[in-house]
Structure 1
Amino acid sequence: MLPAQGSSGRKVRICGVRTSWNTVGDGEFFCPDCGGDRNYRRRTGRRRFTVLGVPLLARGTAGPVVECAACHAHFGTDVLDHPTTVRFSAMLRDAVHTVALAVLVAGGTASSTVRETAVHAVRAAGFDDCTEEKLTDLVEALAADTGRFIIDPGPCGAALAIELHEALEPLAPHLAQPGRESILVQGARIALADGPYIPAEREVLATVGRALRLCVADTERLLLAAARTPS
């Protein structure tokens, strides 16, 4: 911009580049500047060279950008990769629920202590209406549905291992290390509620660790620490 001095002493912009924005989509996202869920507009723009505010020559395109409808800040489109608060809560809730089911499938539901521990973990994650009966019915349905629950290969079944990865892998990049470790430890506590780990439970928890991007050494450390901690 080239400013000039007007008769009133006010600076007048003679020329510069102005961007004209066009909205091509909208939705809801997590705004880093606002620190919460907000509406957004996905926008593209055209830059033009202006003289005294009059657009004359094209100077290329701008964007695409994501514009917050509340604070009007602009972000790269990769900001949409971050889940909204509502979506993140649902992902976390589903992750804990899936881990609990996987551990119950591996270790069984005969122990009331195991069932109670699983229900407590699932309720704490957000499924307030979870009961022992509901979890047991789901475990039995998984075992009966041979089209989805393949017993071989692996003690937790190929299909259930896939479900663990589907529930945990999208969540892992958005959780700090302590958060990922917490999900694994919750599964370990369910497995330990009726005594030491059995091989099938160990295999399931190792799968959980891999899906959460925990290295083998960290997974082993956490499982050992959980086993040493009095219930």
Structure 2
Amino acid sequence: MRTARGRKQCVWGIRTAWNTVGDGDFFCPDCGGDRNYRRRTGRRRFTVLGVPLLPRGYVGPVVECAACQNHFGTEALDHPTTVRFAAMLRDAVHTVALAVLAAGGASSRTVRVTAVAAVRAAGFDDCTEDQLTTLVDALAADTGRLPGAYDGTSEPCGAALAIELHEALEPLAPHLAPAGRESILLQGAGIALADGPYSAAEREVLTIVGGALLIRPDDTARLLAAARTPS
């Protein structure tokens, strides 16, 4: 069908009426950055000459980018925003540094300086040696949080310490490229090696770090061995 001016007019079709049920911030895959989104559900109707007549079911929910207007599955919200990702990365490096210090002890100033440098590079610009040692001492004293924490003995790694590492690293790992996961492990290795070869405690903690970062055990062992080799 054509109008008087010769333009085509849709006689019938399916139209979706959208309803917003929530909003927030997300990382838009198409925009490539943080954007506002609307979580929407839709109701499809058969229309004739633009008049809705018969229902044709529901659509969604979908995530609609407020900038580009494109629709995505709700799994798009699983990807952290840039701000959230940066915070997760900072926390991951901070937790690994504390775990290595707790495993190997914070008595070596070389180790403390190396740990501070790693944590500052991750984004905690005001990190100091005193802050890290205070946290390590507090963790060691809190037996409910770090049972069996290393104190220079050969006691096995405390279960709570392993939980701390998994909680900090596992949500981050799927969003990191392999090189990014390896970088976090190698930063921990660099802290452990600052005062000499790995202790048994440090190696065990770093093995847990590798597992939490979804690095295969063989690759973790390879990376830890490579870190010991001077470049």
Normalising by the smaller structure, the TM-score range is: over 0.9
Q: Which amino acid aligns with 1:176?
A: A
Give the conservation status (yes or no) of the 8 Å contact 2:102–2:149.
no
Asked whether 1:72 is paired with 2:79, we answer no
Please list, as runs of the form range in 1=range in 2, the aligned pairs for 1:176-187 lying within 5 A after superposition.
176-187=177-188
Structure 1 position 126, deviation (Å):
0.5
| Structure 1 pair 179–152 and aligned structure 2 pair: CA distance change class (3 A) | closer
Q: 1:102 aligns with which of 89, 99, 102?
A: 99
Give the conservation status (yes or no) of the 8 Å contact 1:41–1:66.
yes
**2:218 counterpart residue number:** 217
**1:192 counterpart residue number:** 193
How many aligned positions are there?
227
Q: Which amino acid aligns with 1:52?
A: L
Give the conservation status (yes or no) of the 8 Å contact 2:207–2:220.
yes
Q: 2:111 aligns with which of 110, 114, 121?
A: 114
Q: Deviations over 1:168-226 (max 9, x none)?
A: 00001000100000000000000000000010000000000000000011101100110
Using the alignment, how far apart are the partners of 2:44 and 2:130 within structure 1? 62
TM-score of the aligned structures, taking structure 2 as reference length = 0.96
Using the alignment, how far apart are the partners of 2:116 and 2:16 within structure 1? 55
Asked whether 1:125 is paired with 2:132, we answer no
> 5+ residue gaps in structure 1?
none
SS at match of 1:97: helix
Q: Which amino acid aligns with 1:81?
A: D
RMSD (CA atoms) = 1.2
Give the conservation status (yes or no) of the 8 Å contact 2:62–2:73.
yes
Q: 1:31 aligns with which of 25, 28, 31?
A: 28
Using the alignment, how far apart are the partners of 1:141 and 1:225 within structure 2? 33
Q: Deviations over 1:59-113 (max 9, x none)?
A: 1111110000111110000000000001000000000000000000011111111
Please list, as runs of the form range in 1=range in 2, the aligned pairs for 1:16-55 lying within 5 A after superposition.
16-55=13-52
Please list, as runs of the form range in 1=range in 2, the aligned pairs for 1:133-144 lying within 5 A after superposition.
133-144=130-141
Q: 1:82 aligns with which of 70, 79, 83?
A: 79
TM-score of the aligned structures, taking structure 1 as reference length = 0.96
**1:7 counterpart residue number:** 4
Structure 1 position 157, deviation (Å):
1.3
Give the conservation status (yes or no) of the 8 Å contact 1:105–1:156.
no
Q: Which amino acid aligns with 1:140?
A: D
Off by >6 Å, runs of 4+ in structure 1 = none
Structure 1 position 14, deviation (Å):
0.6
Using the alignment, how far apart are the partners of 1:60 and 1:145 within structure 2? 56
Give the conservation status (yes or no) of the 8 Å contact 2:22–2:38.
yes
> 5+ residue gaps in structure 2?
none
Percent identity between the aligned chains?
75
Q: Which amino acid aligns with 2:202?
A: E
Q: Which amino acid aligns with 1:216?
A: P
Structure 1 position 148, deviation (Å):
1.1
